[in-house]
Amino acid sequence: MDEDENYWSNLEQVFVHNVYERISSKYDEFLKLSQVRHTNDNDLNNNDVDKLINNENYAFKLKHLKSVYKKQIEKKNGNIQFKNNEWPKVRHFILQIEPYSLIADVGCGEGKYLNINSHILPIGSDRSSSLSQLASHRDTSNSTICNKNQVVICDNLYLPFRSNLFDAVISIGVIHHLSTPKRRIKAIQELVRILKPGGKIMIYVWAMEQRVRKFKSQDVLVPMLNTNTSSSKSEFKFNLRRDLSNNSAVNSEDSNDEFFTDKLLNSLNTNCQKNSQNYLDKCSMTSRSDCSSKDDSSSFNDETEKLDDQKFDSNEKETQSQPNTPTSFTSQKSNFTDLLRKFFSQKFSAKKEEPCENYSNIVKSSPHLITINSISKDPNVIEHYKKIIEDHKDLLPENFTIRQFPHSSCEDTFTENNDYSKINDENVVTDDAENSSNKRFYHVFRKNELDNIIREYCPELNIYDSFYDHGNWSVCALKVK
Amino acid sequence: MKLITHNMLTSKILKNVVTGYPLKIHAVKAELKKADFQPDFIARMIKKIDYKTLYQAAETLGYAEGMPKTEILNEEDMNNEETLKKLHEVLLEIEVIEGDLECPETGRKFPINNGIPNMLVNEEEL
Name the residue ranges covered by the structural domains of chain A: 3-40+87-207+445-479, 254-437
For residue A155, the chain B residues in CB contact (below 8 A) are 120-121
Residues of chain A found within 8 Å of residue B46, distances taken between Cβ atoms = none
Q: Residue A196: closest CA among chain B residues belongs to which residue?
A: B48
A&B contacts, CB < 8 Å = 88
Distance to chain B for A353, nearest Cα, Å: 44
Whether A312 shows a pLDDT value over 60: the answer reads: no
**Cα(A26)–Cα(A109) distance, integer angstroms:** 14
Q: In chain A, what residues touch B8 (CB-CB under 8 Å)?
A: 123, 161-162, 165
Inter-chain residue contact A6 with B8, CB threshold 8 Å: no
Q: How far apart are the first and last CA of chain B?
A: 24
In this predicted structure, the answer to whether residue A157 has a pLDDT above a threshold of 90 is: yes
Cβ neighbours of A150 in B, within 8 Å: 1-2, 4-5
**Residue B123 contacts A, CB cutoff 8 Å:** yes
A23-65 residue pLDDT tens: 777 665 444 443 333 333 333 344 443 444 344 343 444 444 4
Write down the pLDDT at residue A5.
Answer: 84
Q: Which CATH class is domain A3-40+87-207+445-479?
A: alpha beta
Return residues 63-122 of B near A (CB < 8 Å): 92-93, 95, 114-121
Whether A147 sits inside 8 A of B35 (CB atoms) is: yes
Residue A260 has pLDDT above 80, yes or no: no
> Cβ separation of B116 and A151 shorter than 8 Å?
yes
Strand-pair category, A219-223 with A250-252: parallel
Residues with Cβ within 8 Å of residue A446, at least 6 apart in sequence: A207, A208, A209, A218, A299, A300
* Whether pLDDT at A477 is above 90: yes
Residue A406's pLDDT band, with cuts at 50, 70 and 90, is: very low
pLDDT digits (tens, 9 = 90+) for A191-200: 999 999 999 9
Residue B21's pLDDT band (cuts 50, 70, 90): very high
B46, pLDDT greater than 60: yes
Tell me which residue in B8, B124, B126 faces A161 most closely, judged by beta carbons.
B8
| Residue that wins the pLDDT comparison between A151 and B71 | A151
Domain assignment of residue B94, yes or no? yes
Query: Greater confidence, A318 or A159?
Result: A159
Does the pLDDT value for residue A322 go beyond 70?
Answer: no
Domain holding B68, by residue range, is: 3-12+19-112
| Cβ contact, residue pair A154, B8, below 8 Å | no
- The total number of structural domains that make up chain B: 1
Average pLDDT in chain A: 62
pLDDT tens digits along A437-457? 578 899 999 999 999 999 999
B44 in a structural domain = yes
The confidence band for A118, taking pLDDT boundaries of 50, 70 and 90, is very high
Of A144, A148, A152, the CB nearest to B119: A152
Name residue A248's amino acid: S
Q: Which residues of B touch A129 (CB under 8 A)?
A: 116, 118
Task: Determine the pLDDT at residue A402.
Answer: 43
Strands A80-82 and A74-76: antiparallel
| CATH code, domain carrying B62 | 2.20.25.10
